[in-house]
Structure 1
Amino acid sequence: MNSLRITPYLTLFFALFVLSCSKDETTAPDPTLANKQALGTSARDFLSADEFTSLRVEIAYVAGFKPATATLNNLRSFFEQRLNKPDGITFIETLVPATSVGSLERDEYVKIEADNRTAFNAGDELAVWIFFADQNSEKDTDTSRILGTAYRNTSCIIFEKTLRDFSNRIGGASLTQLETVTTEHEFGHLFGLVNLGTDMVRDHEDEQPNDDGIDALNKHCNQENCLMYFQTVADATSSAMTGLPTFGEFCLEDLRANGGK
């Protein structure tokens, strides 16, 4: 799972979640299993037209927490610039019931997806789920906030309530800026960046101190001007950011080498 956490700096945590199942000759195959794999395993499926020539994007949200129209327009342009999907990209919307459990932990937003997701891979169409949640992350503390998490090969959650809290502060960034940067950063991880299913053409995976203070690779880019730099989303919480960050040279090389534009 890839999580965006705001501290005085941005700390990001990762774990790969693999769904396994035992074989049972009397049980029909799960048609949704292809969308329940480890983060990064569908990187080439997103980027290339080798197997999937179109993309269906399911935008799920709780009433009152729908992302801005400008954010969705930015996301469409982002896909069109980077993905080879000659048969097109379709957006659908799914209204999710309000959550009542308070701050969300992984098991809870995985269940929300299981209960509400309608779009799954079908034929030559790849499907992806993005949930804009009405709660914050259970991992939040008094000094840190998680903004979004890519947690499966075609699944991510954006903690929309947290984004709105930042945007509503004096001097806070626009909501469209926060939504766009957070969502596109998470899709960078779904696309296999950095070294998370899309191989590096040149070594550019960043190292940051882990919880033990030891430098460790963290699946982010070491180029400060890149969307996949660990600090980029933290910077987006400030109105001082000018323009929207994009992939840097090294990440673009990786995407193109794995079938993207």
Structure 2
Amino acid sequence: MKIFKNPYWPAIGVAVLCTFFTALGSAIAEITGVEEAAAYLIMAGGVAVSALLGLLFMKRSGNAMRQYGFRLPDRNGIGQVWMYVPLLLLELAPILIYGLHFNKQPIIYVVLLLFTLLVGFNEELYFRGLVFGCLNRISTKTAIIGSSVIFGALHSVTALSGKNMGLVLLQVGFAFLAGLVLVQILVLTKSLWPGILWHIVHNFLSFSTEDVFDEKAIIVVSVQVVLLLVYAIGMGISLSKRQALEQPVPMG
């Protein structure tokens, strides 16, 4: 069927699958009403299933794992230290405004770390690995924009949580721009590991401070969105100078 020959459909399909298992774990934790530590373990289980399926898809695709970005960063890409500075500034913003709040029992942070490790690995595996790989068959430019749009769109499910709509829109914008930055780092370094590391750190800090999010949350996310926007533009300029984005980028 022609529908399966269009790279967009498998890209959207695997992205939805990733989101489904993450949401399923969250739903089970919510329904069972378990304690916080147990809830993170249940959600981690759902993410682990998703990650295992993603790795299976990669293996069955016939491509080497390094072609999806499971390799050390390319020296030419990692040598540009400037590309990692904005990611550091991004995480300093909420710390400077809120400070560090580690007021829970240590076991909660242990299981939270496990959960965020799995989420960071899983989402990069799918969105910057499988989704990018599907769309890169068309062109690198298509893969960069398409994977970022899909990543941002699927993060719109936060609207179901009843949060302030302005904050929800900012978070969707944050997800789109974060995806745009991370996928450009992938293209420059040919590696998923820088994105996975940042994703883990960001999620851990976000979940650790979610209890103190108040009216300042919009300010924090707004600052982060602006930083990401400037960062994404800078990365785009750097990429346009390094290669023709109309052609698929070799990841092997």
Same fold (TM over 0.5): no
* TM, length-normalised to structure 1: 0.30
Structure number with higher relative contact order (C-alpha < 8 Å, ≥ 6 residues apart) = 2
Q: Quick check: which one's helix share is greater?
A: 2
* TM, length-normalised to structure 2: 0.31
